Amino acid sequence: MPHIALPEGQPGIRGAMSFRPETARPLNALVEVLLRAPNSLSPGERELIATYVSYLNDCHYCQSIHGAIAAAHLNSDEELVRRVKADFLYAGISEKMKALLVIASKVQRGGKHVTTGDVAQARDLGATDTEIHDTVLIAAAFCMYNRYVDGLATVQPRDEAMYRERGKMVARDGYVNVSKTYLPAEPVKR
């Protein structure tokens, strides 16, 4: 049972977002820019970073839903998502992505763990400053989302089919659009 009275029937972060729409809006706007807005890293690559960090933080809901969204972007390749989580150095992803995942995993433990050597390695493999920036911020942001979801003891179903279906929907429609199905309409600004 969640620690506070979250709306029922809304698992994971959706319950928390429905409870507090004022904070839900910037939380959704941030994830939309980081994971979906046009970027030289593909949405599938960025979802893999989010999934990997959520896996390291042991957040069941976040790693399941972002893993499903990643797979939906990557031709339904759930095996690739599993391999990134298990040992990304041997997964079928680019060398640049591997270097970015190294940076993400350092950020997950603490930002000061990232070294100039880590950044030089990513740059040698073709990463731009914006890609390095976004990798750091995706990793940092999921250290927030994961703690939010776990810290309120939200409902986190063990139901792969649910995540798979929802993952397809979010990959198709985006975070902000999907959030309109569970958040009240935005108040008119005066």
Binding mask 43-72 for another protein (x = CB under 8 A): --------------xxx-------------
Positions in 90-119 near another protein (CB under 8 A):
103, 106-107, 110-112, 114, 116, 119
Report if residue 189 touches another protein, rule: CB under 8 A: no
One of 7, 8, 133, 180 touching another protein (CB under 8 A): 133
Q: Return d(Cα 146, Cα 66) in angstroms, integer.
A: 11
Note whether 27 and 177 are within 8 A (CB). no
The three-class DSSP label of residue 156 is: coil
Q: In sequence order, what DSSP letters do the residues of 6-60 get, joined into one string?
A: PPTT--HHHHHHHH-HHHHHHHHHHHHHHHTSS-SS-HHHHHHHHHHHHHHTT-H
Residue showing tokens 């060398």: 95
- Calpha distance 20→33 (Å, rounded): 21
Quote the CA–CA distance of 59 and 25 in Å, as a whole number. 22
**Could you tell me the smallest distance in angstroms from the CB atom of residue 18 to another protein?**
11
Residue type, 85: K
Q: Which is nearer to another protein, 74 or 118 (CB)?
A: 118
8 scored as a contact of another protein (CB under 8 A): no
> Does residue 182 bind another protein (CB under 8 A)?
no
Which residue in the set 96, 146, 166, 175 belongs to the binding site for another protein (CB under 8 A)? Answer: 146
Euclidean distance between CA atoms 106 and 183, whole angstroms: 34
Q: Which of 65, 132, 170, 171 binds another protein (CB under 8 A)?
A: 132
Contact between 186 and another protein per CB under 8 A: no
Tokens of 100: 């970015």
Q: Which of 84, 136, 170, 171 binds another protein (CB under 8 A)?
A: 136
> Site residues (CB under 8 A) for another protein?
3-5, 16, 19-20, 22-23, 25-27, 29-30, 33-34, 37, 57-59, 103, 106-107, 110-112, 114, 116, 119, 129-130, 132-134, 136-137, 139-141, 143-153
